Amino acid sequence: KTLGERECPCRQTSKSLPSVERLVLMGIALQVCHAACNGELYSRPFIESFEETPMLLAVLTYMSYGILTIFGYLRDFMREWKIEKCHTAREREEQKDFVPLYQDFENFYTRNIYMRIRDSWNRPICSVPGATFDLVECSSNDYNWTFEYTGRVVKDVINLGSYNYLGFAENTGACATAAGEVTVKFGVGVASTRQEMGNLDRHEELEKLAASFLGVESAMVFGMGFATNSMNIPALVGKGCLILSDELNHASLVLGARLSSSTIRVFKHNNMQSLEKLLRDAIVHGQPRTHRPWKKILILMEGIYSMEGSIIRLPEVIALKKKYKAYLYLDEAHSIGALGLNGRGVVEYFGLDPKDVDVMMGTFTKSFSAAGGYVGGRKDLIDYLRTHSHSAIYATTMSLPVVEQILTSMKCIMGKDGTTIGLSRIQRLAENTVYFRRRLQEMGFIIYGNNDSPVVPMMLYMPAKLGAFGREMLKRNIGVVGVGFPATPIIESRARFCISAAHTKEMLDRALDVISEVGDLLHLKYSRHKVLPSLDRPFDETTYEENEE
Amino acid sequence: MLKTVVLHNVLMETVIRRRRSDSVKMAAGQQWVLVEMVQAFYEAPAYHLILEGILILWIIRLLFSKTYKLQERSDLTEKEKEELIEEWQPEPLVPLVPKDHPSLNYDVVTGPPSHRIIVNGKECINFASFNFLGLLDSERVKLKALSSLKKYGVGTCGPRGFYGTFDVHLELEERLAKFMRTEEAIIYSYGFATIASAIPAYSKRGDIVFVDEAACFSIQKGLQASRSFVKYFKHNDMEDLERLLKEQEIEDQKNPRKARVIRRFIVVEGLYINAADICPLPELVKLKYKYKVRIFLEESMSFGVLGEYGRGVTEHFGVNIDDIDLISANMENALASIGGFCCGRSFVIDHQRLSGQGYCFSASLPPMLASAAIEALNIMEEDPGIFRVLQDKCKHMHKALQGTPGLKTVGEPLTPALHLLLENSTGSRTNDLKLLRAIVDYSLDRQIALTLARYLDKEERFLPPPSIRVVVTVEQTQEEMEKAAQCIREAAVKILK
């Protein structure tokens, strides 16, 4: 029996019905049933919501894209005939007869839509990215084609954009002091790779500490979080292996999967039925064409999805992976430090055993306010990576001040510095998250994701509102991040708040007041308070397959 | 398939006939229908009857034959599926690494990885780190990094788009562009990811990339990510490259419409890390215009090394930098910081700000590392004599290593990272590596830190032969280089006999 169908009362009742009706009913029933049946796997309530996009809004959003596209064509036409000045960089005269470097239509979106709201991104800052930061003021006289720095600084902007979950982005305090000492003593570079002359005892010390923090046998650290995924997945799987990847996985996981030259199949976001179906089919049917059994199956998932604010259904994933003997690669980029009573990430959050996750991956960029990534797991896994990881052989080792920042902040989280600063920050973050999410929901905004996720996406839908929201917030000294197509589905543009332990209640209250004010101004309070459980997101069996030669 | 078509025809035929007879004699009762049928039978032409007869025989055959191939692949029952699932045993996630694997136990460095380095507890002179200009030990760089740390902290907590852009990033990009005399530069937070992200930003599925066989691993990964057609030409062999380009030209003439949308690139390294020699850039530029191919140049080893002002291989050959479409280099060797950059014309570089995966989706470079790179650039600009010193030292080292018994020096006199190869291979890579490692160990005991050049044997497209890497930096004195050469000679005599 599949996991989703264990002793479902509705399944028995539906058996007596004629087949067609049964199928329809089962489709509905399974979704509800699924949650009920696997409830026992969870040690705590798992509340996640994705309120449906109101129909009117969806229509209006499509219309706004339509209008933008029409105007885009019009403007392109005018640029073509030199009626309007074209600001884009041009190809050199000598190379005009070369094949174009990139297709013009590829840039249609960039030129005609993104350009209008470009000022909402890449805003340079000139201070610590802590609870507040200073922005370099820039203005544009040509509708965002170029920016000028006015020379002024916008001071003390409340930072709701950086992934500074535990507030370790600091230029004073234990971490900065320790990192400063190391800078003076060791310098910043290493100028060699791990396997050649770039393996310092500091790196090994960090690996030991990371392993004990994660509760795994062994760990290895790498210089860049993105590359930790893209350079290690190819070392684990190859031809004849199957990768099951969540549809919303980060680009680095997707790239790593592609570089591994294994077959990739994609399942619906956090949808266990979709995952189970793929697992069953894969094992039953084997590889396409040859029908040989797969060598191994690797499930790629993230702890917290940074665009949705959702948390992986880890208890169910582990049950599935055990049942089907697949391996689980868990990317904790956003969840390490940010979830769990002691900041041990999503495994601790669900009260599970780290040994059940085969590959524990994460980054040091977010909660530790440093750079780089790690992989933790059994000793044989790490030994294998030490000898076969692309990163260990070809990439320069992690910078030593960065190592020191991680060491100090990790010790602080673990309480090894003899204080309870780390613990109180974790607690603070959890409280801030719950408070902020609750208040936003009460105000009537549509908020996506899990109640405990410090990433809080707030739906804006329309591309124009994406730009307007960012600007209006900044006018009121609050820095937020907007995300739109292509990072999200085309009509689901959103603002994304990242809650930090460094935020005080006053800051959050101020931010909430401003959000409410701007929300009224831009009519963003869309919620009809029909909070639906996440499983009611439509489930269809469309999956696509990528075959790499 | 044929059967179904025939069956379908037959059925259609009967239906049509039935309809015709029905419409005529609907009310007339059964016997009229029969009479009508018999009448039709008499009236029908002979060929029609024969055809009908054959069709009837076909139907009978179809009814009694049982060769439905589709049916044979009957679906598995739930129980069978369960059994299959029960039966399936995956391979272990990773194979077991033998305890004595040559690269399992790393050499451990204690203390700073600078000119004087402590490897496995032994104090040595560093001939292994790519710290060509000695900037890793520069007090100025350290202090600049420290003051940056005191202003910004360590991490950036976000990608460039989401408040991860710091004023120092912009400054560094501007400075790099100015230093290289190009329109624009873009920085990445990891050296390896630079060219590996830049290539797939332009070269897509269906495009063609001509690559030197000795290209480094990050280029290979970039090519793999781009999913383009990759054509390898023999290392530094312009005739071979031209042969491939001509082949492509002939191919293009066959299908000019397709040729108009296929982008072509030549990807080369300025100074090859694996082969330690310089690419023939002027010839490449000629080929570029002759065959309308763009050139991407990887300069990690040559940036800050070649040329009068350290601008790399373009300056070395006096090639106009605008003739090169994209130059990429890491800031981890000569600049002794972390990260990498691409530079070129804005038309080219700006495209990466939305298409370079390693740029868009990764946290940005820690500001203190960017500050360190800026200060390193300052030093390079203030004292261009440093490049001359390095080049002289490289030549000296190259000369000193000539004639080492049993070892072959690979590389041009100007390269700061030479390779020492076995003159006579034992025939097995493992044994070769063991011999070379013995030389490295011998040298380590005598205060000379060397390292083996490491590769992933199974992943490299063209696996370079095993070698010892010898790196020259400006900090090494004449005596130290003599000592190193002497030490390697002794070791070679002793170990290779």
Helices B2-24 and B46-64: angle between axes, nearest 10 degrees: 120
- List, in order, residues 6 or more apart from B365 with CB less than 8 Å away: A371, B156, B169, B187, B188, B189, B338, B339
pLDDT at B68: 59
In DSSP notation, A445-488 reads --B-EETT-SEEEEEEESHHHHHHHHHHHHHTTEE-EEE-TTTS
For A451-467, write each residue's pLDDT tens digit. 999 999 999 999 999 99
- DSSP H helical ranges for A237-285: 251-259, 272-285
CB contact under 8 A, A371 and B366: yes
Task: Tell me the whole-structure pTM to 2 decimals.
Answer: 0.87
DSSP B457: T
Confidence band for B17, pLDDT divided at 50, 70 and 90:
low
Closest-CA residue of chain A to B330: A396
Say if residue B459 is exposed, middle or buried (CB neighbours under 10 Å; 0-12, 13-18, 19+). Answer: middle
Number of A/B CB contacts below 8 angstroms equals 366
In a domain, A540, yes or no: no
Pairing of strands B340-344, B184-188: antiparallel
Q: What span, in angstroms and rounded, lies between the C-alpha atoms of B142 and A190?
A: 13
pLDDT per residue as tens digits for the range A355-386 = 999 999 999 999 999 999 999 999 999 999 99
Residues of chain B in contact with residue A283, where contact means CB-CB under 8 angstroms, are 84-85, 88
Clarify whether residues A348 and A493 are in a common domain.
no
| Contacts B360 to A, Cβ<8 Å | 251
Q: Do A325 and B90 touch (CB under 8 A)?
A: yes
Distance between A137 CA and the closest CA of chain B, angstroms: 11
For residue A298, the chain B residues in CB contact (below 8 A) are 93
* pLDDT surpasses 50 at A538: no
Domain contains B74 = no
CA neighbor of A329 nearest in space, from A250, A433, A429, A222: A250
Q: Say yes or no: B368 and B399 in one domain.
A: no
Residue closest to B127 by CA, chosen among B399, B402, B444: B444
How many angstroms from the chain centroid is the CA of residue B68?
49
Count up the domains in chain B and report the number.
Answer: 2
The pLDDT value given to residue A272: 94
Query: How many angstroms separate the CA of residue A337 from the nearest CA in chain B?
Result: 13
Whether B176 and B281 share a structural domain: yes
CA distance B268 to chain A (A): 18
- For residue A294, the chain B residues in CB contact (below 8 A) are 88, 90
How far is Cα B80 from Cα A505, in angstroms, rounded to an integer? 59
Contact B150 A387 (CB under 8 A): no
Q: What's the average model confidence in pLDDT over B433-439?
A: 94
Q: Does any domain span residue B28?
A: no
Q: Residue A38 gets which letter from DSSP?
A: G
pLDDT over 80 at B31, yes or no: no
Q: Do B146 and A201 touch (CB under 8 A)?
A: no
With an 8 Å Cβ cutoff, are B347 and A327 in contact?
no
Q: Do residues B287 and B425 both lie within one domain?
A: no
Residue B3 placed within a domain? no
Give A-chain residues touching B264 at CB under 8 angstroms.
99
Collect all residues of chain A within an 8 Å Cβ-Cβ radius of residue B154. 169, 175-176, 179, 369-371, 401-402, 405
- Looking at residue A383, its pLDDT comes to 95
Interchain pair B365, A170: CB under 8 A: no
Q: Is the pLDDT of residue B2 over 60?
A: no
Q: Are residues A394 and A467 in the same domain?
A: no
Q: Is A305 helix (H, G, I), strand (E, B) or coil?
A: coil
Do A184 and B146 count as a contact with CB atoms less than 8 A apart? yes
pLDDT of residue B267: 97
Closest approach of B96 to chain A, Cα-based (Å): 6
Q: Looking at the structure, do residues B176 and B110 belong to the same domain, yes or no? A: no
**Which residues 6+ apart lie within 8 Å of A393 measured at CB?**
A193, A194, A195, B103, B217, B454, B455, B456
Question: What is the residue whose two structure tokens read 């490289």?
Answer: B394
Q: What is the percentage of chain B residues whose pLDDT exceeds 70?
A: 92
Closest to A263 measured CA to CA, from A300, A229, A238: A238
Domain shared by A222 and A287, yes or no: yes
Nearest-Cα distance to chain B for A236, in Å, is: 6
CATH number at residue A63: 3.90.1150.10
Same-domain status, A403 and A523: no
Q: Which domain holds residue B428?
A: 104-135+384-496
- The helix/strand/coil state of B123 is strand
The domain in which residue A336 lies consists of 174-414
User: With an 8 Å Cβ cutoff, are B221 and A283 in contact?
Assistant: no
How many residues comprise chain B?
497
CB-based contact A280 B217, cutoff 8 Å:
no
Asked if the structure places residue A399 within a domain, the reply is yes
Longest pairwise C-alpha distance within chain B: 123
* Angle at CA of residue A43, ends A41 and A48, nearest 5°: 85
Measured in angstroms, the CA of B145 and the nearest CA of chain A are apart by: 7
Note whether A100 contacts B263, CB cutoff 8 Å: yes
Coil, strand or helix: which one is B443? Answer: helix
Closest chain A residue to B190, measured at CA: A224
For A35, B376, B477, B484, the CA distances from B137, given in Å and listed in that order, are 59, 11, 15, 21
In a domain, A410, yes or no: yes
B175 lies in the same domain as B274: yes
Q: Which of B140, B154, B205, B300 to mutate to test the interface with A (most CBs of A within 10 A)?
A: B154
| Judgement on whether residues B234 and B336 belong to the same structural domain of the protein | yes
- What interhelical angle do A225-236 and A379-388 show, nearest 10? 100
In terms of domains, do B372 and B388 share one?
A: no
Starting at the earlier edge strand, list the strands of the sheet with B407-410: B407-410, B417-422, B467-471, B451-452
Q: How does strand B417-422 pair with strand B407-410?
A: antiparallel
**Sign of the CA dihedral running A268, A499, A48, A470:** negative
Surface-to-core class of residue A528, CB atoms within 10 Å of its CB (0-12 exposed, 13-18 middle, 19+ buried): exposed
Looking at residue A168, the DSSP 8-state letter turns out to be -
In this structure, the answer to whether residues A475 and A403 fall within a common structural domain is no
Q: How far apart are CA B27 and CA B50, in angstroms?
A: 31
Q: How far apart are CA B194 and CA A27, in angstroms?
A: 47
Q: What is the pLDDT of residue A484?
A: 86
In a domain, A18, yes or no: no
Question: Cβ contact (<8 Å) for B163 and A325?
Answer: no
| Upstream peptide bond of A486 is cis (omega within 30 degrees of 0) | yes
Residue B363: strand pairing partners? B159
Distance CA A373, CA A264 (A): 23
Pair A406, A258 in one domain: yes
Query: Does B422 map to a domain?
Result: yes
Q: Which residues of A touch B330 (CB under 8 A)?
A: 396
A162–B162 CB contact, under 8 Å: yes
CA distance B267 to chain A (A): 15
Q: Specify whether A155 is located in the same domain as A272.
A: no
Contacts of A293 in chain B (CB under 8 A): 88
- Judge whether B54 lies within some domain: no
CATH code at position B449? 3.90.1150.10
Sequence-distant (≥ 6) Cβ neighbours of residue B52 within 8 angstroms: B13
Split into its structural domains, chain A has a count of: 2
The verdict on residue A28 lying in a domain is no
Note the pLDDT tens digit of each residue in A433-454.
999 999 999 898 999 999 999 9
Nearest to B357 among A123, A127, A255 (CB): A255
Q: The tokens of A334 are what?
A: 């956003």
Q: Looking at the structure, do residues A74 and A100 belong to the same domain, yes or no?
A: yes
SS3 label, residue A329: strand
Determine whether B413 is exposed, middle or buried from the number of CB atoms within 10 Å of its CB (0-12, 13-18, 19+).
Answer: middle
Question: What pLDDT, on a 0 to 100 scale, did the predictor assign at position A426?
Answer: 95
Angstrom distance (rounded) from CA B365 to CA B166: 9
Task: Give the separation between CA A511 and CA B437, rounded to whole angstroms.
Answer: 61
| Residue of chain B with shortest Cα separation from A119 | B161
Per DSSP (E only), the strands in B46-200 are 109-110, 116-119, 122-126, 184-188
Query: What tokens appear for B279 in the block?
Result: 């690419």
Same domain? B378 vs B391: no
Boundary (domain end) residue, out of B337, B354, B382: B382
Asked if residue B468 is part of any domain, the answer here is yes
CB distance B350 to B343 below 8 Å = no
Same-domain pairing of A192 and A335 = yes
pLDDT at A187 over 80: yes
Mean of all residue pLDDT scores within chain B: 90
Q: A196–B128: do the CB atoms touch at under 8 Å?
A: yes
A513 vs A274, A436, A478, A509, A520, CA distance in Å?
A: 40, 11, 11, 6, 11
Structure tokens at B291: 């065959």
Q: Quick: pLDDT tens for B390-430.
A: 999 999 999 999 989 999 999 999 999 999 999 999 989 99
What is the Cα–Cα distance from A268 to B270, expressed in whole angstroms?
A: 45
CATH number at residue A301: 3.40.640.10
For an interface test with A, which of B94, B454, B475 has the most A Cβ atoms less than 10 Å from its Cβ? B94
What's the pLDDT band for A540 if we cut at 50, 70, 90?
A: very low
**Domain-embedded: residue A326:** yes
Asked if pLDDT for residue A545 goes beyond 60, the answer is: no
Residue A14 counted as domain residue: no
What SS3 class is residue A159?
A: strand
Task: Identify whether residues B130 and B162 lie together within a single domain.
Answer: no
Cβ-defined contact of B114 to A197 (cutoff 8 Å): no
Residues A292 and A348 in one domain: yes
**Shared-domain flag, residues B342 and B227:** yes
Q: Which of A192, A252, A358 sits opposite B129 (nearest CB)?
A: A192
Partner-chain contact A122 B161, CB within 8 Å: yes
Contact A94 B163 (CB under 8 A): no
| Angstrom distance (rounded) from CA B294 to CA B203 | 11
Q: What residues of B are in contact with residue A234 (Cβ under 8 Å)?
A: 459
Q: Are residues B368 and B248 in the same domain?
A: yes
* B320 and B256 housed in the same domain: yes
Using CA atoms, how far apart are residues A47 and B302, in angstroms rounded to an integer?
A: 55
Q: What end-to-end distance do the CA atoms of chain B give, in Å?
A: 75
Last residue of a domain, one of B347, B382, B417: B382
Q: Do the chains contact at B90 and A296, CB–CB below 8 Å?
A: yes
Beta-carbon separation of A199 and B165 below 8 A: no
- Domain presence at residue B485: yes
Inter-chain touch B106–A194, beta carbons under 8 Å: yes
For residue A86, what pLDDT is reported?
78
Looking at B364, B382, B400, which one is the last position of a domain? B382
Do B106 and A365 count as a contact with CB atoms less than 8 A apart?
no
**pLDDT of B70:** 54
User: For tokens 């010892």, what's the residue?
Assistant: B468
State whether A243 and A218 are in the same domain: yes
pLDDT of the residue at A40: 74
Q: A404 and A450: one domain?
A: no
From chain A, pick out residues whose CB is under 8 angstroms from the CB of B131: 189, 191
